């Protein structure tokens, strides 16, 4: 829980913040995160939480201080006042845990955090969490955030005899995971955290300074930037490995995609680069932001489906962020109908999934009379269904399923069914067996080459490859303007495989045009067409030249 901690020890004065080289004494095998601070829960207005706790204590005669005094008091000390009243203490802790859960829900999608956890695990490190709260609620919050898969253990109130930060919690984690304290690194944000690490014999690094006691809630955007700093942990723990893993030609790429583990976008990312580090984000725009901001080496964004058409949000991303297209991927898409174990097909009344998945299965849903319900993404719908069942304690040996859950199914991938413990009721519900989605691989603008791949932006590209170039342009809002611009390609017999219009945000009721042209931008005949195009448009921007991939072939329908 983010709080203002005592600035100095009982004797000896404040501790200096250590230099960020915590691993000089030897190899690190375990990294322990302070759940309450390091996972950036300071995005919540904790002074307001403290005031609510103090008001509840005041109503019971356990607090006589002012709201200002409450805002400046560490939450653990406030909650301790109800130590002799178990029911009241549980109520107060529930208030705190609710605030922390909301904080993690807001910030869980930081590309920096997820990429860091991926990278640390890839280096063979064990990861753990230390918290004031009970293990159960923290585990549920991590599960909701999709972060539980990274951590080997959680130490909570059951392991710490006094309010943490306490060395016993760190020692309990080391013992449970079979790691010597000298081989553990504690990531916290205060002198108290540092003192606990020293007493346990662990290394310590202070990454996220607290709010300094001023009672000022930290803006969420600022906190996300702080989380991204955790990427420095990779270089601290394993400097040589961090550099080797990022080298040109052999390094591991960090690929951002829209969705959650089990999404079709994740499958496409791994098909493009097997073994890459992947990070799922809530929205397509977030993928653009992560790539443009350096939170990922590249991103995978869906541009069009063979039958549901173009994804406008992807095209709009190029108008907001400076990124380039460096590749394309075609992914065959199969949607399976899945539900909680024990649900019968004839009981299903509604089907939840991403709008694109619902559109690709529209006829199948309509024929069976099922109500389509839109969700953020396919795998997210599967995870949410599992989470609701677990929260209700229903199914899989628990109580009976509530009627709403027993009547709900989702459309998602086979991997999503396995990840979220759902049973597939019907396979391949898509209306067309050759259903496929085309993805663009995007990278920061100006990226000449991605580590781990052959994409190049200049001479030396693989010979014999078929290339494609994508651009966006604006023409005068006048008769024949678009026809004249397209003539630059027609006169040189350059084939255009896609022409899509999007609203011009700067000039309402006028359009921008996205164009896919066959060829490499720096070579004829396309180079000549682009040179002429400059005089036939009011503006155009080259989004990238990349190797063209072959789409899946058509499937004969019965």
Catalytic residues: 437, 439
CA distance 42 to 495: 54
Element (H, E) at 408: strand 408-412
The closest of 295, 302, 410, 404 to 351, measured between CA atoms, is 410
CA distance 292 to 227: 17
Residue 119 neighbours by CB under 8 Å, 6+ apart:
231, 234, 242, 245, 254, 277
Does residue 552 sit in helix, strand or coil? coil
The closest of 379, 359, 366 to 430, measured between CA atoms, is 359
Q: What's the gap between Cα 554 and its chain centre? A: 34
User: Which residue is it, tokens 């329908």?
Assistant: 557
User: Which residue is it, tokens 């002429």?
Assistant: 532
Q: Is the dihedral of CA 550, 551, 552, 557 positive or negative?
A: negative
CB-count burial class (<10 Å; 0-12, 13-18, 19+) for 247: exposed
Q: Are strands 511-518 and 467-474 parallel, antiparallel or unpaired?
A: antiparallel
Q: In degrees, to the nearest 5, what angle opens at C-alpha 531 toward C-alphas 529 and 537? A: 90
Q: Which of 371-397 are b and which e, b meaning 16 or more Cβ less than 10 Å from the residue's Cβ?
A: ebeebbbbbbbbbbbbebbbeeebbee
């Amino acid at each position: 829980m983010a709080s203002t901690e005592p600035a100095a020890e009982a004797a000896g004065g404040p501790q200096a913040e250590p230099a960020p080289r915590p691993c000089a004494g030897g190899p690190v095998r375990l990294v322990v995160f302070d759940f309450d601070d390091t996972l950036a829960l300071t995005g919540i207005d904790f002074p307001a939480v403290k005031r609510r706790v103090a008001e509840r204590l005041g109503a019971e005669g356990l607090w006589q201080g002012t709201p200002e005094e409450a805002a400046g008091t560490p939450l653990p000390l406030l909650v301790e006042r109800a130590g002799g009243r178990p029911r009241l203490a549980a109520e107060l802790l529930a208030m705190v845990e609710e605030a922390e859960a909301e904080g993690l829900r807001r910030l869980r999608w930081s590309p920096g955090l997820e990429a860091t956890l991926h990278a640390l695990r890839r280096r063979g490190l064990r990861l753990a969490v230390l918290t004031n709260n009970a293990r159960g609620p923290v585990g549920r919050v991590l599960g909701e955030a999709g972060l539980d898969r990274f951590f080997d253990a959680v130490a909570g109130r059951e392991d710490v005899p006094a309010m943490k930060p306490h060395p016993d919690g760190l020692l309990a984690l080391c013992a449970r995971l079979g790691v010597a304290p000298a081989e553990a690194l504690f990531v916290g944000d205060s002198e108290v955290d540092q003192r606990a690490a020293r007493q346990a014999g662990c290394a310590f690094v202070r990454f996220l300074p607290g709010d300094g006691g001023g009672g000022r809630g930290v803006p969420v955007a600022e906190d996300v930037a702080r989380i991204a700093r955790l990427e420095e942990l990779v270089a601290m723990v394993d400097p040589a490995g961090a550099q080797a893993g990022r080298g040109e030609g052999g390094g591991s790429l960090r690929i951002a995609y829209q969705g959650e583990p089990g999404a079709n976008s994740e499958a496409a990312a791994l098909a493009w680069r097997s073994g890459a580090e992947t990070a799922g984000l809530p929205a397509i725009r977030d993928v653009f932001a992560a790539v443009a901001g350096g939170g990922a080496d590249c991103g995978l964004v869906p541009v069009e489906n063979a039958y549901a058409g173009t994804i406008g949000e992807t095209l709009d991303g190029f108008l907001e962020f400076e990124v380039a297209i460096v590749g394309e991927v075609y992914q065959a898409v199969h949607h399976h109908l899945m539900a909680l174990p024990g649900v019968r097909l004839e009981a299903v009344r509604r089907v939840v999934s991403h709008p694109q998945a619902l559109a690709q299965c529209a006829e199948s849903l309509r024929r069976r009379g099922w109500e389509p319900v839109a969700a953020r993404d396919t795998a997210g719908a599967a995870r949410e269904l599992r989470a609701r069942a677990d929260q209700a304690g229903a199914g899989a040996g628990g109580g009976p399923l509530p009627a709403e859950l027993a009547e709900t199914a989702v459309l998602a991938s086979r991997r999503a069914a396995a990840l979220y413990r759902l049973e597939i009721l019907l396979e391949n519900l898509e209306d067309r067996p050759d259903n496929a989605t085309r993805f663009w691989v995007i990278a920061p603008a100006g990226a000449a080459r991605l580590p781990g791949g052959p994409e190049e932006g200049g001479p030396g590209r693989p010979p014999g490859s078929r290339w494609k170039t994508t651009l966006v342009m604006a023409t005068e809002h006048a008769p024949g303007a678009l026809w004249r611009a397209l003539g630059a390609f027609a006169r040189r017999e350059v084939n255009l495989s896609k022409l899509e219009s999007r609203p011009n945000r700067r000039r309402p009721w006028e359009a921008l045009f996205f164009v896919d042209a066959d060829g490499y931008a720096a070579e004829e005949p396309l180079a000549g067409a682009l040179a002429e195009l400059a005089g036939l448009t009011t503006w155009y921007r080259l989004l990238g030249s990349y190797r063209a991939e072959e789409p899946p072939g058509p499937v004969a329908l019965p």
